[in-house]
């Protein structure tokens, strides 16, 4: 799954830049970097789209919007209330009901239904499995309760970072790379020369040293001797 967020920078009531960001692809503006660090759903503020049907009348359908914790009246003197909601329903090995993750892979709601003062239905209904329910009905009921959709606001967590020393770090990396290049491909070597004049006879003494790539030093040293001998 690829989660993206569109950010717009507004400065002095003017839009400066708009960019769609995702993980490892931030928005940069005047030294600031805006990263997408997290995302999710606001499960504390959601609406559940439900439907009431009758087994005796397949054509009967009554849509209903439910908010957890708020009783909602329906025809035939029915009152529905959602007491629990989990976005990814699972039953553990110990028999406990919990959520496997915070993503809506298997959303489920626990509802209580009364008809007047009579408890009519109590149990879990599922958005992905409309025909399946975990219910505790006091007695067989003609009503069938469905969870059609789950609506919750999505959010993106944005992290803002600014490092004024970034340019110096990049400059240091460039100089470090240049130094490594010179160390490997331009090895240091030295050649010394001593010129002596004894009674009109000129003697030249040469010597050299190289920390690496000595073959290149030998070639250069040989070329230098050849040039000196050919000089008149």
Domain boundaries in the chain? Answer: 42-153, 168-229
As given in the structure block, the two tokens for residue 32 are 């600031």
pLDDT tens figures, 61-120: 999 999 999 999 999 999 999 999 999 999 999 989 999 999 999 999 999 999 998 888
pLDDT tens figures, 4-14: 889 899 988 89
Q: What spatial distance separates the first Cα and last Cα of the chain, rounded to whole Å? A: 80
pTM value is: 0.62
């Amino acid at each position: 799954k690829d989660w993206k967020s569109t950010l717009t920078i507004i400065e002095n009531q003017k839009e400066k830049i708009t960019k769609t960001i995702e993980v490892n692809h931030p928005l940069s503006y005047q030294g600031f970097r805006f990263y997408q660090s997290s995302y999710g759903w606001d499960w504390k503020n959601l609406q559940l789209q439900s439907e009431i049907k009758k087994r005796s009348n397949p054509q009967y359908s009554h849509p209903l919007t439910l908010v957890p914790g708020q009783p909602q009246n329906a025809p035939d003197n029915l009152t529905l209330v959602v007491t629990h909601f989990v976005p990814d329903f699972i039953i553990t090995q110990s028999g406990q009901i919990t959520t496997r993750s915070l993503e809506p892979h298997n959303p489920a709601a626990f509802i209580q239904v009364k008809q007047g003062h009579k408890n009519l239905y109590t149990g879990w209904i599922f958005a992905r499995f409309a025909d399946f329910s975990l219910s505790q009905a006091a007695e067989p009921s003609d009503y069938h309760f469905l969870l059609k959709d789950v609506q919750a606001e999505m959010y993106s967590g944005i992290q803002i970072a600014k490092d004024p020393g970034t340019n110096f770090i990049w400059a240091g990396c460039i100089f470090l790379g240049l130094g490594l290049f010179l160390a490997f491909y331009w090895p240091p070597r030295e050649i010394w020369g001593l010129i002596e004049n004894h009674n009109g006879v000129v003697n030249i003494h040469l010597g050299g040293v190289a920390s690496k790539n000595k073959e290149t030093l030998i070639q250069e040293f040989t070329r230098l001797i050849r040039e000196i001998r050919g000089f008149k």
